[in-house]
């Protein structure tokens, strides 16, 4: 499976049609821009210029307004993300329990800095402000999976697990069982 987020986006990309359908459904609703951008990011993985321009044109608002909103909010990204976005919670509870060390270990394990993507397109590294699982601090998410009570020693194992899932997905194997229930000692 090739990384869907790393390819160029052309004007006749079918995802634009999906986005248009969503925008059609909420036509006339005020204040819909943020919802539209959420949908666009879900479809494209990120919000490059082409997508922002398309949204602006369809909603008949200036591209600058779209860009203003995209760059204001942390969850919108103008850069592609990896197949497994790794998110390190840097909320207060996670911080006092050593999230900074987990982050440092992730950086060295993946060989990337915050906001970057690994060369194979598998992982991107981001930090966030609290996902509300503070009682299990420090918490990281890899893809959709939330991992609690993570120490820097767990990092290599968690990364290896995600790699395995990616490899399994590539081989068309069943991945549903990998990773489930096997972590958090």
Partner 1 sequence: MIPAPALKRLESPADLELLRAQGAPALALRQAEAAPLGEAGEIHVLVCGDTGCRANKCLPTRQALEQSVATHGLAGRVKVVQVGCFGFCRVGPVVVVEPGGTFYCEVRPKDVPEIVLEHIMGGRPVKRLLYAPTPNERGQYETRQHIPFYQRQYRSVLRNCGLIDPENVVEAVGSGRYFALAKALTELTPDQVVDELKQSGLRGRGGAGFPTGKKWEMAKATPGDVKYVICNADEGDPGAFMDRSVLEGDPHAVLEAMTIAGYAIGAQQGYIYVRAEYPLAVQRLQLAIAQARSLGLLGSDILGTGFSFDLDIRLGAGAFVCGEETALIESIEGKRGQPRTKPPFPSTAGLWDKPTLNNNVETYANVGDIILKGADWYRSVGTEKSPGTKVFALAGQIVNTGLVEVPMGTPLREIIFGMGGGVPKGKAFKAAQIGGPSGGCIPTHLLDTPVEFDSLPPLGAMMGSGGLIVMDETSCMVDVAKYFLKFIQDESCGKCPPCRIGTKRMLEILERITQGKGTLADIDDLERLSRGIRAGSLCGLGNSAPNPVLSTLRYFRDEYVAHVVEHRCPAGRCTALTEYRIDPLRCKGCAVCARNCPVDAISGEVKSPFHIDPALCIKCGACSDVCKFDAVIH
Per-residue contact track with partner 1, 5 to 34, x per CB under 8 A? -------------------------xxxxx
- Provide the b/e sequence for 61-71 (b: ≥16 CB within 10 Å): eeeeebbebbe
Q: Is the dihedral of CA 53, 58, 59, 61 positive or negative?
A: positive
CB of 11 to partner 1, least distance (A): 25
CB of 181 to partner 1, least distance (A): 4
Using CB under 8 A as the binding rule, whether residue 174 contacts partner 1 is answered as no
Tell me which of 86, 88, 137, 162 binds partner 1, using CB under 8 A.
Answer: 137
Give the HSE-up count for residue 81: Cα atoms under 13 Å, Cβ half-sphere: 21
- Stretch of residues binding partner 1 (CB under 8 A), selected from 7-15, 49-57, 103-111, 167-175: 103-111
Pick 35 or 170: Cβ nearer partner 1: 35
CA pair distance 106, 98, nearest whole angstrom:
13
Binning the chain into helix, strand and coil, the percentages to the nearest 5 are 45, 10, 45
* Cβ pair 148, 184 in contact under 8 A: yes
- Stretch of residues binding partner 1 (CB under 8 A), selected from 6-14, 116-124, 159-167, 176-184: 176-184
- Stretch of residues binding partner 1 (CB under 8 A), selected from 50-58, 113-121, 162-170, 177-185: 177-185
Strands 84-89 and 123-128: parallel
Per-residue contact track with partner 1, 40 to 69, x per CB under 8 A? ----------------------------xx
């Amino acid at each position: 499976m090739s990384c869907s987020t790393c390819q160029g986006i052309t004007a006749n990309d079918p995802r634009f049609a999906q986005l248009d359908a969503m925008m059609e459904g909420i036509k006339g609703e005020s204040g819909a821009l943020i919802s539209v951008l959420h949908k666009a990011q879900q479809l494209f993985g990120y919000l490059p210029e082409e997508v922002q321009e398309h949204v602006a044109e369809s909603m008949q608002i200036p591209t600058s307004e779209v860009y203003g909103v995209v760059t204001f909010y942390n969850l919108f990204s103008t850069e592609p993300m990896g197949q497994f976005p790794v998110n390190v919670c840097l909320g207060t509870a996670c911080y006092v329990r050593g999230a900074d060390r987990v982050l440092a270990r992730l950086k060295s394990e993946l060989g990337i800095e915050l906001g970057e993507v690994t060369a194979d397109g598998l992982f991107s590294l981001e930090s966030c402000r609290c996902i509300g699982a503070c009682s299990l601090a420090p918490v990281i998410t890899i893809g959709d999976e939330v991992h609690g009570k993570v120490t820097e020693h767990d990092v290599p194992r968690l990364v290896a697990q995600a790699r395995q899932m990616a490899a399994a997905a590539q081989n068309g194997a069943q991945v549903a069982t990998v990773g489930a229930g096997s972590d958090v000692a």
